[in-house]
Amino acid sequence: MYSNNAFVQFPAHLYKSCRTYTPKCRILTDLGGVFLMKFQKEYEILRSINPDKILEISFDFKKHRIKIFFSNKEENQFLVLVCENSKISFVKNYPVIFKNGVANIGMHWGRYYTYAIGLSNTTNPGFTEFQKKLKESIQSVVNSNDDFKISFLDSREGIQKIRDANSNSVLPNEAIYYHCIRRTPITDKQFKKVTDSLGKDIAIHLKNSNVTAVFTADITKQKTFVLP
């Protein structure tokens, strides 16, 4: 059944168009090869944030200025990364994905991989050093750490900061936020976008269900996938 609560299921025979249906959705599929980072402890911290505020965490990492924005607003929860250096900047949306009731975040870089390479490990492949720093930044909300600057912004100010960053991004005003399901077969182009944004397993699920996902550049219209 559908509701306006945070998480609902969407059986294939009940899909509606984006014009009338935009609640958060529960994807009924195994994660398979999607690269996830366990995020339960950090998510519990984030869920304690006043929903009327947007959390901003700023820190430096390998000559990059990193800003994390989180909104705990029930119908518009999001976790967004802004990465800036002397040459480029980009905005990356981190989907929070639940598996077996445990929060994870999708760490797939997609189209941002080229721009994120400066965040990679010093001596071995991967981004585990950055992932550790990301977790530490969230934990600093409850355990003060001088490496991180914590701010609580009113909703309008926080949204405007993200929009400004998106406008200045190497991929400006990209439709990177999941919005809704449309009852139409997924195209090859959209399959790639879902893969880059949410992971290949979700893209395959949508293809098998004969539906597609719609994305928006407006962060205030973002919805969230939840996996069992």
| Digitized pLDDT (tens) for each residue of the chain, 228 residues in all | 222 222 223 333 333 345 433 334 333 333 333 477 899 999 999 999 999 999 999 999 999 999 999 999 877 889 999 999 999 999 999 877 777 788 888 888 888 999 999 999 999 999 999 999 999 999 999 999 999 999 999 999 999 999 999 989 999 988 888 888 899 999 999 998 888 777 777 888 899 999 999 999 899 888 766 543
What is the SS3 string spanning the chain? Answer: CCCCCCCEECCHHHCCCCCCCCCCEECCCCCCCCCEEECHHHHHHHCCCCCCEEEEEEEEECCEEEEEEEECCCCCCEEEEEEECCCCEEEEECCEEEECCEEEEECCCHHHHHHHHHHCCCCCCCCHHHHHHHHHHHHCCCCCCCCCEEEEEEHHHHHHHHHHHHHCCCCCCCCCEEEEEECCCCCHHHHHHHHHHHCHHHHHHHHHCCCEEEEECCHHHCCCEECC
The pTM for the full model equals 0.79
